[in-house]
Amino acid sequence: MWPELSSTERLEKLDRILMTGRTAEGDRELAPFTEEVNNHVHTCYSFSPYTPSEVILKAREAGLRAVGIMDHDSVSGAREFTDAGRRAKVATTAGFELRVNADGTAIEGRKINNPDTKNIFYMAVHGIPANRLPAADRFLQPIRKRRNLRNRSQVAKLGEILRAVDLPELSYDRDVVPISMSGEGGSVTERHILYALALLLEKKWGRGKGLLLKMKEAFGIEPGPKVRSYLEDPDNPHYLYDLLGPLKSTLLPRFYIDPDKEECINVREAVEFAVSIGAVPAYAYLGDVVDSPTGDKKAERFEDGYLDQLIPAMVDMGFRAVTYMPPRNTPAQLERIMRLCSQYGLMQISGVDINSSRQSFHCSEIMDPRFSHLIDATWALIAHESLSDKDPQAGLFSAAALSSGGSLEERIRTYAGIGRSMYSRCTKRRHNE
């Protein structure tokens, strides 16, 4: 991993690898491009093993044609991400993810898409024009500051749990902050705290069956069969990331502190800001969880029980899109959310959140003909970002576009064509440089 390098050094290293025409490990040639896209990849500016340049490299190695950065409470990796994409001929989109409160809305007080807290839910802001990234960073700064205050309290509360089983306490400044990019405008999340804890447990208890036994004795943690098999293998290269799953689902609730309304601002304020910078506010559909792909979410009911009321409520709040992840949902869930989006005129955006080294950058589900509209939506976002960077009235949801008379589906197809044409011209120029 490259977080110890500066952004400039990471881009230079990316260039050197791309010039070889082979993967970073040199074990195979770069895959040919496919039509696969992914609009929801985290970087080390929230929680991920990958810097922005490494995400682009991983996407290029997988043959992805386009990929989107989506960090929690941060856009600080976006410029490096976009620059890296140009170098690798991978188209990019820029956004961020945050949690908001539902006060004053039709869904106030309900469990929505957040496993931890009722009335708080995740939303995504897609398609940020490059010239509005500084405004987005200013908007997110006080949210990160408030989150860091809560993080300190959570680490102190975790310390009480650790003392009770004769383990040393974690220090927020010594153990958690250094594994984040907070000094460069990145966020610190609960996963950073858990990763620091995973390092501590590895140091004290080692790896393999011994660690599993100690975790059961100290915390009552018993991973499921699949994760257990990962953690029984001391040579597992993804060991610490695999350990995060059971720690998150079992131990996190014991020291988790609910965020306040300064950290999780009201949804209407967040949506209004997203629209003001020419971005696309999107509700992040989760759906009832049967089996979590990353092992960090227990089987639980979320918004499916009242989805017919939730989607029009999101329209009332000003959302312009819904983002969802085909690999995480059943065919029935996907058909329902797609139908409701069409019914209420909401753009459909897809991506699979990647924040672990175990996760593949491939998302074969997106190639299903049923989801071709999601690929078009990606290219429409790419055009939207580029055009509105030059002229705010050229965006996909600008007043001029909305008054054009065409349907949302027609606008998306038009912008998708523009996005693909831009990409083609850009890659030709890059080839000739």
User: How confident is residue 362, by pLDDT bands cut at 50, 70 and 90?
Assistant: confident
Residues 6 or more apart whose CB falls under 8 angstroms from that of 5 comprise 13, 51
Residues 290 and 424 in one domain: yes
Distance CA 86, CA 103 (A): 41
Residues 166 and 151 in one domain: yes
User: How confident is residue 295, by pLDDT bands cut at 50, 70 and 90?
Assistant: very low
Q: What is the mean pLDDT of residues 29-43?
A: 94
Residue % of the chain over a pLDDT of 90: 84
User: How confident is residue 245, by pLDDT bands cut at 50, 70 and 90?
Assistant: very high
More confident residue, 401 or 96: 96
Q: Could you read off the pLDDT of 256-274 as tens digits, one per residue?
A: 999 999 999 999 999 999 9
Residues 328 and 426 in one domain: yes
Half-sphere exposure of 86 (CA within 13 A, CB side): 13
Q: Of 207, 238, 255, which one is at a domain's C-terminal end?
A: 255
Distance CA 57, CA 405 (A): 40
Q: What is the mean pLDDT of residues 26-35?
A: 90
Residues 239 and 293 in one domain: no
Residues 187 and 204 in one domain: yes
Distance CA 113, CA 248 (A): 16
- Domain span holding position 166: 142-255
Residues 123 and 154 in one domain: no
More confident residue, 261 or 297: 261
Residues 54 and 165 in one domain: no
User: How confident is residue 27, by pLDDT bands cut at 50, 70 and 90?
Assistant: confident
Residues 218 and 309 in one domain: no
Residues 137 and 147 in one domain: no
In a domain, 265, yes or no: no
- At 388, which helix (H) or strand (E)? helix 372-390
Residues 297 and 188 in one domain: no
Q: Compute φ and ψ for 215, nearest 5 degrees.
A: -65, -40
Residues 147 and 248 in one domain: yes
The answer, yes or no, to whether residue 325 has pLDDT greater than 50, is yes
In a domain, 427, yes or no: yes
Helices 190-205/133-164 angle, 10° precision:
40
In a domain, 261, yes or no: no
In a domain, 381, yes or no: yes
Q: What is the mean pLDDT of residues 54-61?
A: 96
User: How confident is residue 294, by pLDDT bands cut at 50, 70 and 90?
Assistant: very low
In a domain, 24, yes or no: no
Distance CA 1, CA 49 (A): 7
Question: What radius of gyration, in Å, describes the C-alpha atoms of the chain?
Answer: 21
Residues 6 or more apart whose CB falls under 8 angstroms from that of 333 comprise 287, 288, 304
In a domain, 270, yes or no: no
Q: Could you read off the pLDDT of 121-179 as tens digits, one per residue?
A: 999 999 999 999 999 999 999 999 999 999 999 999 999 999 999 999 999 999 999 99
Residues 228 and 302 in one domain: no
- Residue 433, pLDDT score: 54
Distance CA 203, CA 341 (A): 48
Q: Of 255, 273, 307, which one is at a domain's C-terminal end?
A: 255
- Residue 400, pLDDT score: 86
Burial 92-125 (b: 16+ CB within 10 A, else e): bbbbbbbbbbbeebebeebbbbbbebebbbbbbb
Domain count, the chain: 2
The conformation of residue 295, written as its DSSP 8-state character, comes to S
In a domain, 2, yes or no: no
Q: Compute φ and ψ for 406, nearest 5 degrees.
A: -80, 160
In a domain, 27, yes or no: no
As to burial, measured by CB atoms within 10 angstroms (0-12 exposed, 13-18 middle, 19+ buried), residue 225 is exposed
Residues 6 or more apart whose CB falls under 8 angstroms from that of 51 comprise 1, 2, 3, 5, 10, 43, 44, 77, 80
Q: What is the mean pLDDT of the chain?
A: 93
Q: Of 207, 235, 255, which one is at a domain's C-terminal end?
A: 255
The answer, yes or no, to whether residue 70 has pLDDT greater than 50, is yes
* CATH number, residue 426: 3.20.20.140
Distance CA 2, CA 127 (A): 26
Q: Could you read off the pLDDT of 401-433 as tens digits, one per residue?
A: 888 878 999 999 999 999 999 988 776 665 555
- Decide if 257 contacts 157 (C-beta within 8 A): yes
Bridge-based pairing state of the strands 120-126 and 37-41: unpaired
The answer, yes or no, to whether residue 291 has pLDDT greater than 70, is no
